């Protein structure tokens, strides 16, 4: 939770500093996620959307070999590969527009047949 002090911070122009946010309320069905994120060995997901890898340069804490104490580096000392659930949005959007296009074409065909 963000403190009241931090949540009321303002930019020089008077607007809230933290005015944009995403609380991550997204709905995905299990079959959709299996299709999108399924394993390579799963025959049902062979044509699945492949979530892209994102390179994240990080300051990764490590144990000092001499003292055993945790060291928090001041500079980037490692790279992580990450995947984000947000990358599936493009799949949902494409499928939505394709579905809408097919629906409109069927509706147009029906109108032509009725006239």
DSSP character string of 49-98: PPPPPEEEEE---EE-TTT--EE--SS--EEEEE--GGGGHHHHHHHHHH
- Residue in this structure with the two tokens 């959007």, named with its chain if needed: 93
Q: What is the DSSP letter of 54?
A: E
Q: Write out pLDDT tens, residues 36-60.
A: 666 555 655 555 566 788 999 999 9
Query: Within the chain, which residues score under 70 in pLDDT?
Result: 1, 22-25, 36-50, 91-98
- C-alpha 11/C-alpha 65 separation (Å) is 44
Q: Does the model's pTM come out above 0.85?
A: no
Give CA separation, 68 vs 20, 64, 73, in Å.
41, 5, 15
């Amino acid at each position: 939770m963000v403190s009241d002090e931090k949540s009321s911070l303002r930019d020089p122009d008077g607007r809230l500093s933290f005015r944009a946010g995403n609380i991550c309320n997204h709905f995905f069905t299990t079959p959709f996620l299996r299709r999108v994120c399924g394993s390579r060995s799963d025959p049902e997901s062979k044509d699945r959307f492949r979530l892209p890898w994102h390179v994240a340069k990080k300051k990764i804490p490590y144990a000092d070999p001499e003292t055993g104490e945790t060291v928090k580096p001041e500079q980037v000392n490692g790279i992580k590969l990450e995947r984000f659930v947000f990358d599936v949005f493009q799949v949902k959007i494409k499928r939505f527009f394709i579905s809408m296009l097919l629906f409109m074409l069927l509706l147009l065909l029906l109108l032509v047949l009725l006239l």
